[in-house]
């Protein structure tokens, strides 16, 4: 996604909503995505999530993310579609069968993956990890080691995206052109290797900084900016849970 980290000057609601409320919303959407077993409701949920991300962040979902989802979803769709043999047989070749039930099952499962990926990416890109850690530790009483681990996992996507951008820019400055065919596969392998190496280097720097600051040496941790739950948060959370319950019982 072309989203950036949380900015105080942003007026879009995804940036202004507190981390706990966004976690509740993510869980509600995940429950609905797992519960729905028909294509049309799942497609409507996917469209609603997509529109909410675009309007809530003020930015479009980028082409690289669409390509990543397609790279994950298309093979999974094919495997899921051929693994179910229910309904009318539309095509058959030996042991392979394409049925109406398999097509619906594959579409539902693929859309489910898309929804879970989009919500997770939106949470990581529009949430300041420091606010997230404060909310988990101070409000939910999560051990700060676990909270920081979750925050680092969420910041991994922006870190990986930044590393990919720098690697691609460096290769373009050196005059490397985009290859085709088999050469493109080899170029992609080298490109991914460079991104992985750079990411490991960044992680080592983070680990060294945490160790030098005595991370984990004490049972409790203080915060320079204490997390304060907004007064509107209970209404957002309650509304999300209520809508989820209604849709869960009706869909």
pLDDT tens-place string over residues 168-192 = 777 777 777 776 666 666 666 776 7
**Which of 11-15, 157-161, 179-183 has the largest mean confidence?**
11-15
Dist CA 214 CA 216 (whole Å): 6
CB atoms within 10 A of CB 214: 9
Q: Which of 62, 69, 65, 50 is nearest to 110 (CA)?
A: 69
Q: What was the pLDDT predicted at 139?
A: 83
Coil, strand or helix: which one is 152? helix
E strands, the chain, in order: 89-93, 96-99
Residues 34, 116 contacting (CB under 8 angstroms): no
Tell me: the pLDDT tens digits for 148-158? Answer: 777 777 766 66
CB atoms within 10 A of CB 25: 23
Q: Can you read off the two tokens belonging to residue 202?
A: 């960044």
Domain chopping of the chain, boundaries: 1-139+227-251, 142-226
User: Would you place residue 8 in the very low, low, confident or very high pLDDT band (cuts 50, 70, 90)?
Assistant: very low
Average pLDDT over all residues of the chain: 78
Dist CA 91 CA 77 (whole Å): 16
- DSSP designation for 94: T
| 125 contact partners, CB below 8 Å, separation of at least 6 | 1, 3, 4, 5, 57, 157, 158
Dist CA 6 CA 135 (whole Å): 15
Tell me: the pLDDT tens digits for 59-117? Answer: 666 555 666 677 777 777 777 777 766 666 676 666 667 777 778 888 888 899 889 88
Residues 119, 26 contacting (CB under 8 angstroms): yes
Dist CA 149 CA 100 (whole Å): 43
Dist CA 198 CA 205 (whole Å): 11
Q: What is the pTM of this model?
A: 0.71
Would you call 142 exposed, middle or buried from its count of C-beta atoms within 10 A (0-12, 13-18, 19+)?
middle
């Amino acid at each position: 996604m072309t989203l950036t980290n949380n900015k105080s000057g942003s007026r879009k609601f995804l940036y202004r909503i507190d981390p706990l409320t966004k976690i509740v919303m993510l869980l509600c959407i995940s429950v609905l995505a797992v519960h729905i077993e028909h294509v049309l409701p799942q497609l409507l949920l996917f469209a609603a999530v997509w529109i909410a991300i675009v309007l809530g962040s003020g930015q479009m979902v980028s082409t690289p993310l669409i390509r990543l989802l397609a790279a994950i979803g298309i093979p999974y769709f094919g495997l899921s579609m051929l693994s179910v043999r229910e309904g009318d047989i539309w095509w058959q070749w030996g042991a392979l069968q394409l049925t109406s039930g398999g097509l619906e099952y594959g579409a539902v499962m693929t859309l489910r993956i898309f929804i879970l990926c989009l919500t997770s990416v939106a949470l990581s890109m529009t949430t300041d990890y420091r606010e997230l850690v404060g909310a988990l530790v101070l409000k939910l009483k999560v051990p700060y080691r676990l909270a920081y681990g979750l925050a680092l996992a969420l910041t991994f996507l922006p870190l990986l995206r930044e590393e990919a951008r720098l690697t691609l820019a460096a290769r373009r400055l050196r005059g490397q052109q985009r290859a085709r065919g088999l050469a493109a596969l080899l170029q992609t392998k080298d490109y991914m290797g460079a991104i992985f190496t750079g990411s490991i280097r960044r992680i080592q720097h983070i680990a060294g900084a945490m160790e030098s600051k005595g991370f984990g040496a004490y049972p409790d941790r203080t915060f320079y900016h204490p997390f304060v739950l907004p007064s509107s948060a209970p209404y957002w959370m309650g509304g999300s849970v209520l809508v989820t319950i209604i849709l869960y019982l009706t869909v």
